[in-house]
């Protein structure tokens, strides 16, 4: 899991304390966190649908600019719906595999960023892609940044 230094830096990047366990899975060349992988449950047991979170400031701003110019709609127009749906299923399966075996309470639902279809958040797709995920939307983001 995250080191005390990672917790401190991610807190700075988010502007608040993380509400669950996480691990830094992508770093800049200087070692700064870019992507974190969240536990599927927060400290209080609340389901966390977003497994991969884009925390790097430069990357976050670049994706926000892409979103603000219609990137969500354009990515949905450019990528076949069945490819996006398959990505959601892969993401859900990965996240669900990380739930504690004894867990019987509420679980995260949906795929990337908690959605079941389409594109909700380019940041979440790009974070998963940067972490090595097979995400056609994340690939699209990379090509358009």
pLDDT tens digits for 13-36? Answer: 999 999 999 999 999 999 999 999
In whole angstroms, give the CA distance from residue 59 to residue 70: 17
Listed by start position, the domains of the chain span 4-144
DSSP one-letter code for 46:
-
Dihedrals phi, psi of 24, to nearest 5 degrees: -80, 120
pLDDT of residue 13: 97
- Among residues 29, 97, 23, 87, the alpha carbon closest in space to that of 55 is found at 23
pLDDT of residue 1: 87
Number of Cβ within a 10 Å radius of residue 1: 10
Across 61-89, b (16+ Cβ under 10 Å) vs e yields ebbeebbeeebbebbbeebeeeebeebbe
**Residues 58-108: pLDDT tens digits?**
999 999 999 999 999 999 999 999 999 999 999 999 999 999 999 999 999
């Amino acid at each position: 899991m995250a080191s005390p230094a990672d917790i401190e830096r991610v807190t700075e990047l988010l502007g608040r304390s993380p509400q669950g366990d996480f691990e830094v899975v992508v770093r800049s060349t200087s070692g700064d966190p870019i992507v974190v992988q969240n536990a599927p449950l927060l400290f209080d047991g609340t389901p966390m649908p977003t497994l991969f979170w884009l925390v790097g400031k430069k990357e976050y701003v670049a994706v926000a600019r892409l979103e603000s110019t219609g990137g969500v709609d354009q990515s949905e127009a450019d990528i076949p719906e069945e490819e996006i749906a398959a990505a959601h299923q892969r993401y859900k399966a990965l996240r669900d595999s990380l739930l504690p075996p004894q867990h019987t309470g509420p679980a995260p639902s949906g795929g990337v960023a908690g959605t079941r279809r389409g594109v909700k958040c380019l940041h979440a797709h790009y974070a998963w892609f940067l972490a090595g995920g097979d995400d056609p939307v994340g690939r699209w983001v990379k090509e358009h940044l």
